[in-house]
Amino acid sequence: MAVRTKLVAGNWKMNGLRADGSALARALTERWTAARSERPGCQPLLCPPSTLLAMVRDILAGSGIALGGQDCHPAPKGAFTGDVSPEMLADAGCSHVILGHSERRHGHGETDAEVREKVTGAWRAGLVAVVCVGETLAQRRAESANTVVAAQITGSIPDGATAANLVVAYEPVWAIGSGLTATLEDIAAMHADIRSRVAAGT
């Protein structure tokens, strides 16, 4: 049985200026360098704001820590003020990009179809797409969690997904700010369902 690589991603969101971003990246690099031999099968990933990508890339060089973007536009270039293309992320040294994060889906009204286009763009640029899925508290209470996540998987992931170009990240959106906690059992059950659906192409 193949050993599954564990991706441990740190999404900095809209946080970090050059001074504190540099300090954090250096501290994480030092800690990972010291612990790397004790964590086989673990792949750390840092996703800082776009303004810090080049600086963090240089700090991470040779450490084994991957670099990722927090979002991207599906097009390779064009008149899209404020957006970043997948090719730009790849050129900045990224190997991954987070797509469909709950803050994008709910805060920016991003649809499954839009996430799907971004995934296609990410693959075109040679990036691994980290696609986020997850249900809200209302959806969970309505016992539609698996149905909601299944629809997100179907709508957000194009044909051609492989273990080399896709990571599906489960976000228990219902546990954010609700005072509720997602247990290991909750997460394991959803992970199992997600794996079966991705493997089946549904």
Does the annotation mark 191 as catalytic? no
The amino acid present at 31, given as its one-letter code, is R
127 with 93: CB under 8 angstroms?
no
124 with 76: CB under 8 angstroms?
yes
Catalytic pick among 101, 110, 114, 135? 101
CA 25, CA 31: separation in Å to the nearest integer? 10
Does the annotation mark 87 as catalytic? no
Catalytic pick among 87, 114, 135, 171? 171
User: Cα torsion at 82, 83, 89, 90 (round to 10°)?
Assistant: -130
CA 58, CA 71: separation in Å to the nearest integer? 21
Nearest C-alpha neighbor of 193 from the set 160, 173, 168:
168
CB environment 39-62: b (16+ within 10 A), e (fewer):
eeeebbbbbbbbebbeebbebbee
The backbone region for 64, taken as left when phi is positive above 0, alpha when psi lies in -120 to 50, beta otherwise, is left
Q: Provide the token pair at 43.
A: 């792949």
Report the catalytic residues. Answer: 101, 171
